């Protein structure tokens, strides 16, 4: 609606200079013809006044609709970008190219669309003015037009070629630009701040950042120089052509004894034509200049995901996971991360049933987290199959499946929201159930911390927003575990749930957890072997393969990798105790 008003407004605005010109011509001619009788009618001024009023009206209308349209445009675009982003899957986010594309599109979408819009609309309005001033000139002597357009056409051609050179140069910059953005992020981000200060990296990064900009500056300076030289030389030539056109018009007018008003109108038409040819060609050139952004924007919206249904917006189709999960089975699962040759999991097979707890142990990088990522459907291009209640995970409707799985990842999120939200996000439909939130908090012991907070459940957490309170690493982790437990799930998956917990809290969490999960499935990963002692089954992973499985006793007996890892941990404790005794 606003857009239509704007288009009509700008079209009318384009006619205004010509209307203005004609009304002045009329006024001047009236003055000239009536000067002998001194009887200038008031009506001679009317057209000019009318044009002025119309101008005022159109400008106000445009100004009003313009503002609203610009806000709507940006909001709409930002929403579309967010929507497109929510179709991304984990593989997309881990792909630096896609990730950077997203960042660039987000950054540029703040003012670029407005610039493009303004240039388009000005272009439109100038086109109207240009057409009408050309019409006046053609009606007088068509060949004057030829004199006027020779130089701008040449200038347009060479500037266009120049823009292409500039486009290529800017596109080449992308990798360096990505690096500078990353350094900027490091320098301005709370998480990296501590290490940057302690390792005194600030100068190093600042210098790197500056050196990238120095390179850009040099390039830009060279391009700007080239552009201004081109522009100036064509402008000088163009001005000479205008002078020729004007001289010819005045000579013809003398010969044909034209009225002063008509001469004025012709001179103005020449000037308007020249001015608008420039505006139109500049507009075209800068629209080409925006190519880079538009290319990127369209490419962004056309990103096709390798896996269709593992984005944030979940697929509607698929088998609904309505039945309680009784059994999970990994059948010869092998998997390599996108663009990686090495397999992260090799022929992994295991089975777990309701009421069973399964522990995954192994060295760093052995593939434990990867098992969880596959079990939660974050990647689907694995070989073999993962069956949940004997149905392949690939066939499930993810939305209903996720309702049945409670997960806490190793790199869990600290939401800078209230305590209620941090725990309640586990089951977003039950955000208002205070008793259940407290219950989940109690399971990890974080309820005591919450009771001491000034606003209890409504307490804003984190340092990003006003009134936020920062928790310790362990307290955040307890909140995250409570979030997973808040969901009334069939399967609980915990990746290193105790990495930040003190031994006492860890024991409490595990004890509570054992009671809590009695008839559900639980898969947990821990590097503390004392925590997995009571698991019904322990799987030992090494380089992506299951090398041993059994209960703690069985694995100790078989004296394999588990025995080595377990005794390493015990020996460390014992050595520490002996050293303390010796003191």
Ligand X SMILES: Nc1ncnc2c1ncn2[C@@H]1O[C@H](COP(=O)(O)OP(=O)(O)OP(=O)(O)O)[C@@H](O)[C@H]1O
Residues that bind ligand X (CB under 6 A): 94, 337, 340, 344, 362, 364-370, 410
Which CB atom, from 87 or from 369, has the smaller least distance to Mg ion? 369
Count the residues of the shown chain that bind Mg ion, applying the rule CB under 5 A.
Answer: 3
Quote the tokens at residue 111: 């003012």
Torsion angle of the four alpha carbons 397, 398, 403, 407, in this order, in degrees rounded to the nearest 10: 150
CB 567 within 8 A of CB 555: no
DSSP 492: E
By a kind-dependent CB cut-off of 5 to 8 A, residue 364 interacts, out of ligand X, Mg ion, none, with: ligand X
User: Which of helix, strand or coil describes residue 95?
Assistant: coil
By a kind-dependent CB cut-off of 5 to 8 A, residue 41 interacts, out of ligand X, Mg ion, none, with: none
Quote the tokens at residue 197: 């200060």
Tell me if 262 contacts Mg ion by CB under 5 A: no
**Within 13 Å of residue 115, how many CA atoms lie on the same side as its CB?**
15
Site mask, Mg ion, residues 355-384, x = CB under 5 A?
A: -------------xx---------------
Tell me if 530 contacts Mg ion by CB under 5 A: no
We find the least distance from the C-beta atom of residue 294 to ligand X, in angstroms, to be: 31
Other beta carbons within 10 angstroms of residue 152's beta carbon come to: 23
Which CB atom, from 35 or from 410, has the smaller least distance to ligand X? 410
Own/partner pairs, 340-349, CB within 8 angstroms, 24+ separation:
343/544, 344/370, 344/544, 345/370, 345/371, 345/374, 345/382, 345/544, 345/545, 346/543, 346/544, 346/545, 347/384, 347/545, 348/384, 348/541, 348/544, 348/545, 348/546, 349/384, 349/546
Residue whose CB is nearest to Mg ion in the complex, by number: 369
Tell me if 545 contacts Mg ion by CB under 5 A: no
By a kind-dependent CB cut-off of 5 to 8 A, residue 450 interacts, out of ligand X, Mg ion, none, with: none
User: Per DSSP, what are the bridge partners of residue 406?
Assistant: 492
By a kind-dependent CB cut-off of 5 to 8 A, residue 268 interacts, out of ligand X, Mg ion, none, with: none
Tell me if 87 contacts Mg ion by CB under 5 A: no
Site mask, Mg ion, residues 410-429, x = CB under 5 A?
A: x-------------------
We find the least distance from the C-beta atom of residue 368 to ligand X, in angstroms, to be: 4
By a kind-dependent CB cut-off of 5 to 8 A, residue 402 interacts, out of Mg ion, ligand X, none, with: none
Residue holding tokens 């060949």? 143
By a kind-dependent CB cut-off of 5 to 8 A, residue 473 interacts, out of Mg ion, ligand X, none, with: none
Which CB atom, from 100 or from 291, has the smaller least distance to ligand X? 100
Site mask, Mg ion, residues 381-410, x = CB under 5 A?
A: -----------------------------x
By a kind-dependent CB cut-off of 5 to 8 A, residue 445 interacts, out of ligand X, Mg ion, none, with: none
Which CB atom, from 354 or from 543, has the smaller least distance to ligand X? 543
Which CB atom, from 369 or from 508, has the smaller least distance to Mg ion? 369
E strands in 363-456: 383-388, 391-392, 405-408
DSSP 527-561: S-HHHHTT-SEEEEEETTEEEEEE-HHHHHHHTSH
Task: Report CA-CA distances (Å) from 517 to 68, 209, 483, 564.
Answer: 55, 52, 15, 29
Binding site for Mg ion (CB under 5 A): 368-369, 410
């Amino acid at each position: 609606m606003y857009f239509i008003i704007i288009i009509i407004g700008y079209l009318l605005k384009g006619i205004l200079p010509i209307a203005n010109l004609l009304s002045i011509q009329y006024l001047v001619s009236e003055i000239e013809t009536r000067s002998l009788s001194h009887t200038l009618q008031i009506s001679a001024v009317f057209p000019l006044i009318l044009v002025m009023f119309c101008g005022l009206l159109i400008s106000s209308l445009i100004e009003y609709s313009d503002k609203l349209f610009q806000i709507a445009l940006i909001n709409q675009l930002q929403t579309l970008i967010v929507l497109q982003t929510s179709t991304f899957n984990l593989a997309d986010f881990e792909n630096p190219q896609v990730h950077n594309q997203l960042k660039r599109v987000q950054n540029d979408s703040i003012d670029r669309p407005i610039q493009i819009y303004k240039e388009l609309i000005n272009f439109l309005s100038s086109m109207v003015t240009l057409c009408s001033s050309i019409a006046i000139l053609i009606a007088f002597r068509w060949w004057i037009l030829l004199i006027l357009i020779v130089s701008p056409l040449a200038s347009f051609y060479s500037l266009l070629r120049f823009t292409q050179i500039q486009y290529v140069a800017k596109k080449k910059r992308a990798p360096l630009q990505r690096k500078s953005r990353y350094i900027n992020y490091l320098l301005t981000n709370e998480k990296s701040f501590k290490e940057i200060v302690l390792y005194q990296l600030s100068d190093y990064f600042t210098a790197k950042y500056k050196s990238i900009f120095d390179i850009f500056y040099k390039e830009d300076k060279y391009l700007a120089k080239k552009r201004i030289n081109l522009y100036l030389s064509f402008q000088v030539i163009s001005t000479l052509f205008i002078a020729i056109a004007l001289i010819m018009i005045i000579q013809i007018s003398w010969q044909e004894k034209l009225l002063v008003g008509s001469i004025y109108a012709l001179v103005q038409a020449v000037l308007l034509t020249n001015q608008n040819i420039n505006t139109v060609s500049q507009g075209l050139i800068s629209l080409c200049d925006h190519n880079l952004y538009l290319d990127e924007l369209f490419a962004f919206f056309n990103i096709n995901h390798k896996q269709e249904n593992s984005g944030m917006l979940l697929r509607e189709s698929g088998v609904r996971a309505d039945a309680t999960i009784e059994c999970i089975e990994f059948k010869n699962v092998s998997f390599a991360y996108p663009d990686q040759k090495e397999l992260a999991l090799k022929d992994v097979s295991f089975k777990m049933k309701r009421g069973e707890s399964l522990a995954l142990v192994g060295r760093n990088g052995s593939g434990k987290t990867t098992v969880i990522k596959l079990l939660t459907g974050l990647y689907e291009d694995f070989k073999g199959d993962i069956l949940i209640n004997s149905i392949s995970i690939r066939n499930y409707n993810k939305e209903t499946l996720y309702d049945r799985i409670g997960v806490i990842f190793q790199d869990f999120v600290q939401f800078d929201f209230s305590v209620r939200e941090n725990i309640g996000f586990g089951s977003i439909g039950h955000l208002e159930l205070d008793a259940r939130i407290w219950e989940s908090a109690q399971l990890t012991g974080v309820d005591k911390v919450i009771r001491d907070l000034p606003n209890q459940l409504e307490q804003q957490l984190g340092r990003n927003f006003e009134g936020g309170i920062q928790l310790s690493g362990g307290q955040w982790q307890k909140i995250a575990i409570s979030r997973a437990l808040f969901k009334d799930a069939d399967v609980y998956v915990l990746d290193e749930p105790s990495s930040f917990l003190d031994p006492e809290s860890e024991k409490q969490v595990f004890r509570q957890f054992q009671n809590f999960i009695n008839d559900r499935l639980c898969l947990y990963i821990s590097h503390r072997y004392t925590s997995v002692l009571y698991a019904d089954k322990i799987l030992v992973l090494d380089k992506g393969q299951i090398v041993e499985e059994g209960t703690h006793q069985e694995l100790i007996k078989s004296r394999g990798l588990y025995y080595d890892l377990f005794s390493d941990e015990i020996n460390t404790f014992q050595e520490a105790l002996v050293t303390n005794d010796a003191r």
